[in-house]
Amino acid sequence: MPPQAPPSFIPKKPLDTGTAYRAPGGVGFLLFIALVIFIVSVVGAGGVFAWEKVTAGSITSKSESLQKAEGAFDLSTVEDLIRTSERIDNASVLLAAHVAPSAVFAFLSQQTLQNVQFTTFNYTLNNDDTAAVTMSGVADSFSSVALQSDQFGASKVLKDVIFSEIKNSAGGSVSFTVGATVDASLINYGKNLDNSSVAPNVPVQATISTSTSSSTPH
C-alpha cells in the first residue's frame, strides 16, 4: 500500500482578517445621533440663557423709564385728577337716573288742542322709570275730545291712553278724564337737556290750565 502524503496545515484560502476588527455599523450611527442631540441641547441652553439676559435687561430698562415718568407728575395733582374723575362718573350715574317731570308739561303744551283744557294733573313715578299720569279736562264738544284722544294715541311717548267719564258739563262743554303711561325716554333728564327734543313739533295751539292734585317732586 503506497504511503499517503501527510495532511497539509496550510489553508487553501486566505483568511479574512478584516472581519475580526470591524465595528458594527449601528454603533457609529448611534454615536452620531447622540452627538447631534448634545450639540442641539448646548445651543438651546445657550439661547435660553441669552433670552433671559435680554428679557431681564428690557424689564430693568422699562422699570427705570416708568420710575422717571412717575417722577415727572406731582402726586397731589394726580390725586386731584382721580377724585375729579370719580365725581364725574358719579354725576353721570345720577344724571342717567334722574327724571324731569317738567318734560311732561312741555309735551302737553305741544300736544293739547286749542279747544281742550286740562284742570287737574296727577303724576306718579313707577319703579321701571315710567310715569302714570291722570288728568281731568274739559272740551267744547265731543268731537274735540275724540280729536284729542287721537292726538295722544298717535304719540310714541304715551302708552295705554284711556279717555273715560266723558259727559256733558255746565255751559255746554264736555268734561272727561284721561289716563296714560309716560315712556321713560320722555322724563329722563339726561336725554332731555336739549329742550328741542322734549316733544316733536306739532302744528296745534295749546291752552293748558293745570291744578296738580299730587305729584312727586324731582
Res 5 pLDDT > 60: no
Q: What is the pLDDT of residue 163?
A: 94
Tens-digit pLDDT profile for residues 13-36: 555 554 444 545 556 777 878 888
Percent of the chain with pLDDT over 70: 67
Q: Are 96 and 190 in contact (CB under 8 A)?
A: yes
- Decide which of 198 and 73 is more confident: 73
Global confidence as pTM: 0.47
What is the Cα 134 distance to its own chain's centre?
37
- What is the predicted pLDDT for the residue at 206? 35
- CA proximity to 178, closest of 216, 208, 203: 208
